[in-house]
Every structure is written in structure tokens, then in C-alpha cells.
Amino acid sequence: MANAITGSRILLSFLMLCFPVYSPAFYVLYLLAGITDMIDGAVARKTNTVSAFGAKLDTVADFVFLAVCFIKLLPVFQLPIRIWVWICMIAAIKIFNVILGLIRNKKLVAEHTVLNKVTGGLLFLLPFTVFVVESVYSGAFVCAVATVAAVQEGVLVGTSKEQ
């Protein structure tokens, strides 16, 4: 059941590509995808079906959702170049963390830290804030939190004993 919920996030993410940003259909799909992200782990724990496959599927679903959001949302946000550079720097840190995890642990490592979850929550809320807060301010705030989360993740991956 939990894996089906997680898999539906991938489908919902791809469906988001079919609708204009800020349209009712886009927001419904976006909300449903976000809800699946919030409940799949809880369902897995509640039904005692937590698995390595489910954790990997969740990471893939998160990546697909994030990629679709970047494709759809970043072009419509009015962000100055300094924010775009900041986003690229965060992406570089995250890529470095993945490579470091592969080198140290011979596998993909995804740290589900509180700061990573907070960053995900803030990113999720971002499309709802565009009508209230200028995107430069909300974008800078999310980037600040995401930077701290990415650096923390790098420290955890780099100092982990798991090899």
C-alpha cells in the first residue's frame, strides 16, 4: 500500500507537466503529490511494510517531483540572477553529497534530516506564497534553509561510520 502511494507521486508529478502553473488542475495534482509524500512513510510504518525498496522508491519519487517542480515553477518565478546562482550552488553541494556517499558507502545515501524535511516543506509551500510574498524574499529564505540543510547533509555523509 505504501509503495503504491509513493508510486502515485511519480505519476502525479508527470501529470503536472500537462497543466499550466497556477491552474486549478496543477494545484490539485501538486497538493495530491505533496500529500503522498507526507503519508507514504507513515502508512509503511503503520502497516509494518517498511522496506529498503520503499525507501529507494521514495527517494526516486521525491527526485521526480522536485525535477517536475523545477521544470514548471522556476521559469515562472521572477528570481534575480543571484538567487539562480544560489540555487546552482545548493545543487552543486547536493551533487557533491551524492558523490561522497557513493565513494564512502558504495551506494546512494539520502539523509532524511529534519532540516531536509523543513526545506522540502518550504519548497512545497513556495507556489502558494507567490501571491502574498515577493518571490525574491521567499526564494532567499528557502535558499538559506536549503544551504544549511545541504551542508549538514554533507557533514553527515562525510562523517558517517557506515562503509
Name residue, grid cell 510574498.
Answer: 133
Over the chain, what is the mean pLDDT? 90
Q: For 63-89, b where at least 16 C-beta lie within 10 A, e where not — what string?
A: ebbeebbeebbeeebebeeebeebbee
Q: Which three cell numbers stand for residue 48?
A: 509494518
d(CA 161, CA 110): 15
| pLDDT for res 162 | 60
Q: Which three cell numbers stand for residue 17?
A: 507537466
3-state secondary structure of 18: coil
Query: What pLDDT, in 10s, does the model give residues 5-48?
Result: 999 999 999 999 999 999 999 999 999 999 998 888 889 899 98
